[in-house]
Amino acid sequence: MSAENRGPYDYTQSEKSYLMWAVAIGTLLAAWPFHWFYENYGARSVFFAAGMISTVATAAMPLAATYSWHAFLLARFFQGVSFGADFAAIGLIVVHWASLKQHGFFIALLSSFSQLSVMFTMPVAGELCESSLGWPSVYYVHSALSGILFTIWYYFYRDDPSEHASMTEIELEKINRGKGEIKLKEPAPIKEIMTNPVMWAVWLSAFGELMMSQFIVMYAPTYLKEVLGFRVAHTGYFVAVPRALHLAFKIISGIASDRILFLTEKTKMRLFNTIALMVSGTFFCVLGFLPRELSSYALVTLLIIECSTGFICGGFYKCATLVARQHSHFVLSQIQFIKCLSLFIEPLLVFLICTHNTLAEWRVVFLIHGVLLIAGNIIFCYFATDKPAAFTHVASTEGLAVVPPEQQR
């Protein structure tokens, strides 16, 4: 498209890439500062502040896009900054509000925000863009909703469960059972965490899973259209439906991880992680060898991959919170950091390998992801444990044990 024929919102491919990377850069730069703010001020006020940054940045999008591309880029950057607070907040909520027997469910529920947001945003944005309100209304509606939700968060949430007006003594005892003493503002022992092999096993598993997840979101429609020959109108549904199933399996696996009592916690984490990474990694390798003539089998394979990865909440995510305990927010914030890295690595990987969109080229990409997933699972299963790390100063005897149902009430 020539410069003369370009409209005010017709961006080149490179400009679109910069707009995507602005979010990733904002998140990368904000991850460590948010860690410091969380340690010193708690989740209630800090997460609310992050939400307000997102609210203002989203509301400013239409005006910024109209004013200049650079202003639009800056607004996207601040959206990324707010996104840097998400995973650490999940860690803090799990540590302070979830009992040791409910970590799986809490992680599954709290980490489902990305799937829920897509399920809400896509249809709502489509309807608003087609309406008389136009595309700016998409940002205004989301900004208003963001402001309302974060105000509700600030009104109801308390950093310390004992300070909540609705908390009972029985509920508080269940939440704190087996945790030892947890300080609200305890500095994270960064050196000890960064040299702990269990944490690196968690992060390696997260890297493989996030690379795979980003690939499906960013490039599955391209693969289905260019390589397997599906129509454009169908590719969106073929990606959206598996993502919805992924959410369902995530919630189910989170509950199952907490409710299964005939297996040790360590065994459950290994089992769930193997279903999530080993199964998906194997089918990722298979996917690279399915030709256009077997496109229906490729869809089934994609479905299996999405469903199996829903089990991650009972695997490395749960291990991170059980081992790091009160420092889970730092460990999970590094997973946020890894997610941002995948936003840079994934496009580069596809750009370097898939130059002609042939099946042979895509096969290499699938095999790389498959090997990452399988290797990450093997390493995780070797190091996985449910015992608190030495840097938590919680006695290892306070790790999880199987408790009969009549004693859990």
Of the listed ranges 5-9, 69-73, 362-366, the least confidently predicted one is: 5-9
Name the band, by pLDDT with cuts 50, 70 and 90, for residue 202. Answer: very high
Indicate the average pLDDT of the chain: 81
Q: What pTM was computed for the model?
A: 0.73
CB atoms within 10 A of CB 170: 9
Residue with tokens 């290499």: 364
pLDDT confidence band for 373 (50 / 70 / 90): very high
CATH architecture of the domain 13-160+197-396 equals: Up-down Bundle (1.20)
pLDDT of 30 reads 87
Are 270 and 382 within 8 A, CB to CB?
Answer: no
pLDDT at 398 over 50: no
% of the chain with per-residue pLDDT over 70: 86
Radius of gyration of the chain (CA): 22
45-102 residue pLDDT tens? 999 999 999 999 999 999 998 888 889 999 999 998 998 888 778 878 887 887 777 7
Residue 182 is predicted with a pLDDT of 55
Answer yes or no: is pLDDT of 405 > 50.
no
Q: In 84-223, which ranges are continuous DSSP H helix?
A: 86-97, 103-110, 113-130, 136-156, 169-176, 190-194, 197-222
Rounded to whole angstroms, how far apart are CA atoms 84 and 67?
26
Domain extents in the chain: 13-160+197-396
The sign of the torsion formed by the CA atoms of 349, 353, 359, 364 equals negative
CB atoms within 10 A of CB 13: 7
Q: What is the pLDDT of residue 395?
A: 56
Over residues 103-117, the mean pLDDT reads: 78
Instruction: Look at residues 73, 47, 45 and name the one whose alpha carbon lies nearest to residue 60.
Output: 73
Q: Is the pLDDT of residue 301 over 70?
A: yes
pLDDT tops 90 at residue 359: no
pLDDT digits (tens, 9 = 90+) for 20-49: 788 888 888 888 888 888 888 888 999 999
DSSP for 359-409 reads HHHHHHHHHHHHHHHHHHHHHHHHH---SPPGGGT--GGGS-----HHHH-
At 298, the amino acid letter reads: A
Q: How far apart are CA 92 and CA 47, in angstroms?
A: 11
Residue 406, pLDDT > 50, answer no
Q: Which amino acid is at 275?
A: I
What's the mean pLDDT in 315-326? 86
- Which region among 174-178, 231-235, 343-347, 364-368 has the lowest average model confidence (pLDDT)? 231-235
- 3-state helix, strand and coil shares in percent for the chain, rounded to the nearest 5: 80, 0, 20
